[in-house]
Chain A
């Protein structure tokens, strides 16, 4: 069974740091891109970051320079290091997997974790 399990959320003061983890199981982890998507209170879904199997990384402009995504294929885990946190980063953070075929076809984010809540407040 495919599973994605986020952890590491919590309450942090503005300017602080947190590291989120996304632990995966039930599939060939290195073959998948992992995305982070967040849902802020009263807002819609926002794509945050993504990392490919070869550790190529992408970021939303709102987090570039503050967040760093990485993966450890030996542990089937993706990390999101979040620094210089702001109140606007308050959200539920979800990780999701995406499979891209070599042809360029892809299958969307077909499995998501349950999310982890990050609250940035003094």
Chain B
């Protein structure tokens, strides 16, 4: 199985400041079509998960442009350019290359 790790596991951020979450996969997530099978999800308190980024760097519909994703080999990064209060929750990366699909352990983000 592909193992996903994330760091940090918790993050306290001042509104208006940037934030960055790292995710690493135990093997390449490069699909045969040349695209990365890596998603980022956010689960806000009391809500269902929501898609932020798919294929490593594509922002999902309706996601603010302060969120961005990047990939380099087996390293992936989610960046929030300016954190807002509504961004609190648990952020997960997930590999969608091969089953069983696997999530990272999650990064809990709160506001200072």
Contacts and interface: CB of A to CB of B under 8 A. Distances in A.
Interface of A: 35, 37, 39, 44-47, 50, 58-61, 94, 96, 98, 103-110, 112-115
Contact of A103 (B33, B48, B99, B106): B33
B48 A104 contact: no
A44 B106 contact: yes
B60 A61 contact: no
Given A58-B99, A106-B37, A108-B53, 15 more contacts: A44-B92, A44-B104, A44-B106, A45-B92, A45-B103, A47-B99, A47-B101, A50-B101, A61-B1, A104-B33, A106-B55, A110-B54, A110-B60, A110-B61, A114-B48
A60 B103 CA distance: 12
B41 A45 contact: yes
Contacts, number: 74
B33 A108 contact: no
Interface size class of B (residues with CB under 8 A): 20 to 34
A74 B102 CA distance: 31
A109 B40 CA distance: 10
B21 interface: no
* Chain B interface, >50% SS class: loop
Question: Nearest 8 CB-CB pairs, A to B?
Answer: A108-B54, A104-B33, A47-B101, A112-B48, A58-B99, A108-B39, A44-B106, A108-B51
B103 to A, nearest CB: 5
B83 interface: no
B49 A94 contact: yes
B48 A94 contact: yes
Contacts of B55: 105-108
B14 interface: no
A59 B94 CA distance: 16
B37 A45 contact: no
